[in-house]
Structure 1
Amino acid sequence: MAMTSSIVQTPIARKISTNAVIRTVLAKGKISRADIAKLTGLSKQTISDVVRDLEDDGWLKPVGQTDGRPGRNAIIYEINASAGLAVSIDLGGTKIAAAICDLLGNVVVETEVPTDPRGGPHLVNQFSDLITQLALAAGTTADKLHLVVLGSPGVLDPATGHINVAPNIPGVDAMDLRQAFSDKMGIPVIIENDVNLAAQGERWRGHGVEVGNFAFVALGTGIGMGIIANGALLRGARGAAGEIAYLPLGGDAFDPGGFTLGTFESAVGSVAMLRRYAGFGGSSASTVADLFAAFNAGETSAIAAIEETARLVAIAIAAIGATLDPELVITGGSIGARPELVNAIRAFLPRCTPYPPRIEISRFGNRAALMGGMGIAVERMHDDLFGVKLRDA
């Protein structure tokens, strides 16, 4: 009597097979079952079973057929990117940028609104309303979103959920923002320093993709740094690694006034640049944009102000280089994105350090933190839903 047999995978074996299939589709994009089998080494029957289940569950979708090959055409599959959605929010002192992204990191919908100046609990309500509106625009509802990644100035205290050293965001140092926000939305919330997120954004899809050691230096109204060391974000013992606003440069480190904004930030932030410009005799610029316009027009006071700022930043980068030895320093923020300043920094660096790192301006402008939030959201969704690490895919 003829006998037939089939191999029934155990739950663990099926999970491993599913992981291998998802990993392959994430890495290769549009692909046939036969090609998945070749790349994974799994049997055609196992691939067929796993792909069928993933398609039934909505994670994979057919997108066409192969052509130009011998034999019958085969169905081509890809990740159903819309099956998983998450939110990235960049909280600033004057504005909030927010976006919903899908499983592949595509932006589904994006917006920007003024920050509620009352801060504290009012921000939680503003976030909730903003996410509800974004979800509606994306054709879904807030409860269908997988998670929220929130970037904020300051340092998150992991024990209390309070955000410290964020003077432009009132009330966040007196509440567990993460818990309050998560309770309000009913979905997980990750809070990260905004400059750390900017570094993550560059690591995900920017200048840092192929670089294991680099620093993202944000220069604007405030000053901060995100550090990628040996391929991973460096947070430090209290989450304050990279708080270069407090470097003892550009002023008296023992002046207690520097405890609020930081000695270095007080010397190179936008307010300091305008003060320096006025000190050099300038009178036509009332904003940093005006200052750069005056620089480009050849005004002596503007040139002196920007060059002195660049000199101080170069010293800070030399200190960063001596401490961290980064291959690359990426600059961003409203001031750090200006090529006039960055070119001056590049000129000063070889004069204050024997090993000046490469300097690049962020590819993302003021969207760097938003990009980093999306990168973390995508990585978390891949891990939660498929057990696949983004960097492994």
Structure 2
Amino acid sequence: MDFSSVPMSRQITLRTVMRTVMDRGPISRAELARITGLSKQTMSEVFRFLEDDGWLEVTGRTQGAVGRSAATYEITPNRALVFGADVGGTKIQAALADMNGKIVAESVEATDPRGGEHVMSQLVSLNASLAEKAGLAPERVMVGTVGIPGAYNRKTGKLIMVPNIPDLEGVPLQAILTERMGCMVHIGNDVNMAAKGEQWLGEGKGFSNFVFIALGTGIGMGIINERQILNGARGAAGEIATLPIGADPFDSRTFHSGALETMVGSAAIRDRYESYGGTPGLSVRDIMDRIDAGDERARATVGEVARNIAAAILAVSAIVDPERVILGGSIGARPELLERVRAALPLCMPSPPECTISQLGSRAGLYGTLANSIDHMRENLFELPRYAPLEMQAVPEAPK
């Protein structure tokens, strides 16, 4: 079929039918016609196309009156795939998922320490190798999303604030990956993607407004506001490391990490513990483990961190008013910290939001990239030029 000849009205009709089947399937033609308001003739034409092109399949029959039944349809899950990759300073988690969100192939490998071009090539290679691993044609990958520990400025199309991966600062990553992968690729901040993962499969499911705070070596936050990721003007919304809490924001020593991060990051926790007279050289995990053993210095250290986190939640609540705060990361996921944050919040605000710990762990970011890709696929399915075969699509010129 020459997709360039498909009128806009038909694109909308195809998307409407597919979304309805995704949400309501298995479903019969009659029920689809009733829900969508489409005529029998239009429905027959749409189904002819969707069945012939492999988008829908018969999976059963309705149980109606004696002697009467109708075929029920569901989407063919692997007719289209989505790609997701959570890129960190040390490793990349990547996966392909089908139209139902089921992961069909995944891989974890070390992030190329050379950064830049090498990491981009790594992502392109991962996309192809995952399709091969799943036994499916790479052309079936319709949309991709990559989570990066930095901010993506949608206006300039370039990355900013990418300290952990060399030679990505200022790179038009979306344009490059879209060209090389042969499908639309979206770029998002890694903590925003983790928040998206929590919304899809985690502690944010069912909440319209919540924040995900990742606390480990540093601190970052993803904001879901009215069920949408809040990105900000430069893609830097949620960079709470710079909140003027716990340290003087005018002190140039806090410029690199931010005032809050210098008080609650892993290095700050170790420094504070040792300044209280604690055993030198312990990891943050060791310090946390010592709380139950009765180490008062460890308790004081984590208590101070909790107070600063509570103050940050107070500031965040004044701006975005979240229903729930989800803590994650190697430090944020510790129940010892959660207990103390919960105790500190009522001391600094009258109606604190509910606080909990992520159950998705390090996979939240990967799930978020897949969820973001699925959202974009559902939105743009059958929309030209994305739906057209790759040889018919206008591929952007390689950035200089």
Instruction: Please indicate, yes or no, whether the TM-score normalized by the shorter chain is above 0.5.
Output: yes
- Structure 1 residues 240-261: Cα deviation after superposition (integer angstroms, max 9, x where no partner): 1111000111212112122211
Unaligned runs of 5+ in 1: 1-9, 388-393
User: Does structure 2 retain, via aligned residues, the 8 Å contact 1:150–1:192?
Assistant: yes
Between the two structures, name the one with larger relative contact order (CA 8 Å, sep ≥ 6): 2
Within a 5 Å distance, the mapping from 1:13-24 to structure 2 comes to 14-24=10-20
Whether 1:196 aligns to 2:192 is: yes
| CA drift at 1:184 | 3.0
Distance 2:165 2:13 in 1: 47
Distance 2:214 2:322 in 1: 16
- Alignment partner of 1:291 out of 287, 292, 300: 287
Distance 1:222 1:49 in 2: 55
Whether 1:122 aligns to 2:118 is: yes
Sequence identity percentage: 47
Task: Provide the residue aligned with 2:236 in structure 1.
Answer: 240
SS at match of 2:96: strand
Whether 1:339 aligns to 2:370 is: no
Whether 1:373 aligns to 2:372 is: no
For 1:277, the aligned partner's letter is Y
- After superposing the two structures, state which structure 1 stretch, 41-50 or 10-19, moved more: 10-19
User: Does structure 1 retain, via aligned residues, the 8 Å contact 2:124–2:180?
Assistant: yes
Task: Provide the residue aligned with 1:359 in structure 2.
Answer: 355
- After superposing the two structures, state which structure 1 stretch, 247-256 or 137-146, moved more: 137-146
- Structure 1 residues 129-152: Cα deviation after superposition (integer angstroms, max 9, x where no partner): 222221211112434321221101
Unaligned runs of 5+ in 2: 1-5, 384-400
- Structure 1 residues 76-126: Cα deviation after superposition (integer angstroms, max 9, x where no partner): 210111011111111111111111111121111122111111211111122
Number of aligned residues: 378
Distance 2:246 2:138 in 1: 46
Task: Provide the residue aligned with 2:52 in structure 1.
Answer: 56
Whether 1:65 aligns to 2:28 is: no
Distance 1:183 1:43 in 2: 39
| CA drift at 1:193 | 0.7
- Alignment partner of 1:28 out of 6, 24, 37: 24
- After superposing the two structures, state which structure 1 stretch, 314-323 or 326-335, moved more: 326-335
Distance 2:269 2:325 in 1: 21
| CA drift at 1:204 | 3.0
Distance 1:12 1:240 in 2: 35
Query: Scaled by the length of structure 1, what TM-score is found?
Result: 0.89
Distance 2:40 2:126 in 1: 46
Distance 1:22-1:132 versus aligned 2 partners, 3 A rule: closer
Whether 1:168 aligns to 2:170 is: no
Structure 1 runs (4+) deviating above 6 angstroms are: none
For 2:246, the aligned partner's letter is G
Distance 1:15-1:169 versus aligned 2 partners, 3 A rule: closer
Task: Provide the residue aligned with 1:391 in structure 2.
Answer: none
User: Does structure 2 retain, via aligned residues, the 8 Å contact 1:124–1:184?
Assistant: no
User: Does structure 2 retain, via aligned residues, the 8 Å contact 1:251–1:263?
Assistant: yes
Whether 1:272 aligns to 2:268 is: yes
- Alignment partner of 2:38 out of 33, 38, 42: 42
SS at match of 2:381: helix
For 1:177, the aligned partner's letter is L
Task: Provide the residue aligned with 2:380 in structure 1.
Answer: 384
For 1:299, the aligned partner's letter is D
Task: Provide the residue aligned with 2:180 in structure 1.
Answer: 184
| CA drift at 1:12 | 5.5
User: Does structure 2 retain, via aligned residues, the 8 Å contact 1:95–1:114?
Assistant: yes
